Amino acid sequence: MSLSELLTVDGLELLDSLPPYNPANVMALSEQLQREGYAPGLVAEALTQSRLRERAADKFGPFAQRMVFTKDGLEQATRLSVGAFHAQRFLETGATHVIDFGAGLGADSMAFAGLGLRVTAIEMDDVAAAAATHNLRPFPEVEVIHADGFSVDLAALDADAIWIDPARRLNGRRLKNPADWMPSLHDAVALARHFPAAGIKVGPGIDYAQLPEDALVEWISAGGDLVEAVIWLGSCAPEPGRHALAVGATSGAARWDSGVSDPRLPATQVIPDALGLVIYEPDPAIIRSGSIATLCEKYGISPVADGIAYLTGNEIIDSPFLTNFTVATTLPLEPKPIRRALRELGVGRVEIKKRGTDLDPEKFRKKLKLDPKLPGEMTLIATPTISGKHRAILCERA
């Protein structure tokens, strides 16, 4: 795919003139535009970009409507709300000039420049580099270089920080092995060590054993969704360890220290306890950063079963890292008793959550034969408990 024809005055005017994307209208709109004289290839690309802009709104907000994307690039691109925290960490080290190595569509460069950092964005892929050049045009603090970053004399750029976002997708397929990333995790870490401050964006499922022992590794959630992890090195990692960062859906963020001095150490297991009056769902960044133990220690709570990331206690806890559910009743994980209890409670809508069970929520929901006329709402949490048996915990969000 090439963006060259779209990234012209006429192509961008066509793209910007399109109505909000509606898949039901795509065929008719395509035929109409071709009747008006637009080339079929240009129409197809404009409609593709319109669809990607619609999807990009969650990550980029109103900025998405002036940007261009690739499918893989959008999947991997950093949300602007998260990129601002990357930029802030660089600023706290005193960095002024960041190399964005493997800049992709330019998402992190936008965040860096938006907070006043000078940026050199390097991208080797032809289409992504063209997209980044367009997306970063409003930021005079950014220079885009279309090249293989390993062929560039990085030292001559006189930067005091580097951000590396290895390509972790190929033809829409996620590359799970860090050795297959471009650059590989090994090469990315080696490159990062040449700079006073460095960050490497990685997938949140990365194995602790693959982390550098002197890194501060941060797992980041946004609006309750786990979105990425970052390996911080140099002055960006004043102390090695693992952190969780929860970025709010609208604004604000909170950090949590897992309490380890070596990011490679396994998570500490916590002895489970009997179900209390409240069940807590930890933020996914807490779970992946191995922070359950320190969270339980601080608040005096426990897992409901060995290796299960539902926690329990008897008090509502005000924490950005915990969602509280008050327990109404506990039942066997079987449709008939649950169906009876829901009807007695006047519940017609049920949110189903699960851990440690192969239950299929949608298939199980059908078996409950919910009556939509009943006004009540509850959450059903399917999980093993300390007894070793699987249970359905009916509860309400606190």
253 and 286 belong to one structural domain? no
First to last CA, the chain: 49
Query: Whole-angstrom Cα distance, residue 312 to residue 304?
Result: 6
CA distance 355 to 343: 25
Q: What is the DSSP letter of 78?
A: P
On whether residue 323 sits in a domain, the answer given is yes
Inside any domain, residue 272: no
Q: How far apart are CA 49 and CA 51, in angstroms?
A: 5
| Domain span including residue 123 | 74-257
User: Are 237 and 187 part of one and the same domain?
Assistant: yes
User: Residues with Cβ < 8 Å from 34, sequence gap 6 or more?
Assistant: 40, 43
Please name the amino acid found at residue 237.
Answer: A
Q: Is 30 a member of any domain?
A: yes
The position carrying tokens 């220290």 is 257
* 235 and 330 share one domain: no
Q: Do 135 and 201 fall within a single domain?
A: yes
Q: Residues 101-122, buried b or exposed e (16+ Cβ, 10 A)?
A: bbbbbbbbbbbbbbbebbbbbb
Same domain, 321 and 209: no
Q: Cis check for the bond before 303: say yes or no (omega within 30 of 0).
A: no
Q: How far apart are CA 254 and CA 277, in angstroms?
A: 26
Same domain, 386 and 316: yes
Torsion of CA 96, 60, 284, 185, to 10 degrees: -50
* 289, HSE (Cβ side, Cα atoms, 13 Å): 35
230 and 340 both lie in a single domain? no
Give, in order, the Cα–Cα distances in Å from 254 to each of 222, 228, 302, 322.
Answer: 11, 16, 22, 12
* Alpha-carbon gap, residue 99 to 144, rounded angstroms: 10
Copy the structure tokens of residue 143: 């220079």
Same domain, 199 and 233: yes
pTM (2 d.p.): 0.91
Is there a single domain that holds both residue 285 and residue 178? no
Within-domain flag for 193:
yes
Asked if residue 241 and residue 376 are part of one domain, the reply reads: no
DSSP code for 138 = T
Write down the residue that tokens 């509850």 correspond to: 378
Q: Tokens 């609006």 map to which residue?
A: 223
Minimal CA–CA distance to 242: which of 232, 252, 254?
232
pLDDT of residue 2: 65
Spatial distance between the Cα atoms of 273 and 317, rounded to a whole number of angstroms: 17
366 is written with which tokens?
């059908």
How do the pLDDT tens digits run along the chain, 398 residues long? 468 789 998 899 999 999 999 999 999 999 999 999 999 999 999 999 999 999 999 999 999 999 999 888 898 899 999 999 999 999 999 999 999 999 999 999 999 999 999 999 999 999 999 999 999 999 999 999 999 999 999 999 999 999 999 988 777 778 889 999 999 999 999 999 999 999 999 999 999 999 999 999 999 999 899 999 999 999 999 999 999 999 986 557 899 999 999 999 999 999 999 999 999 999 999 999 999 999 999 999 999 999 999 999 999 999 999 999 999 999 999 999 999 999 999 999 999 999 999 999 999 999 999 999 999 999 999 999 998 899 999 999 99
| Per-residue pLDDT, 1 | 44
Three-state DSSP at 28 gives helix
Q: What is the pLDDT of residue 290?
A: 97
End position of a domain, from candidates 257, 290, 320: 257
> Is the same domain home to 247 and 331?
no
**CA quadruple 317, 322, 324, 325: dihedral positive or negative?**
negative
Q: What whole-number distance in Å separates Cα of residue 7 and Cα of residue 332? A: 60
- The verdict on 251 and 348 lying in the same domain is no
φ, ψ for residue 101 (rounded to 5)? -90, 110
Token digits for 174? 């996620």
Residue 64 in domain: no
Assigned domain for 80 exists: yes
Q: How many domains does the chain have?
A: 3
- Residue 129 domain-assigned (yes or no): yes
CATH number assigned to the domain comprising residue 241: 3.40.50.150
Instruction: Identify whether 3 is part of a domain.
Output: no
**Which amino acid is located at 314 in the chain?**
N
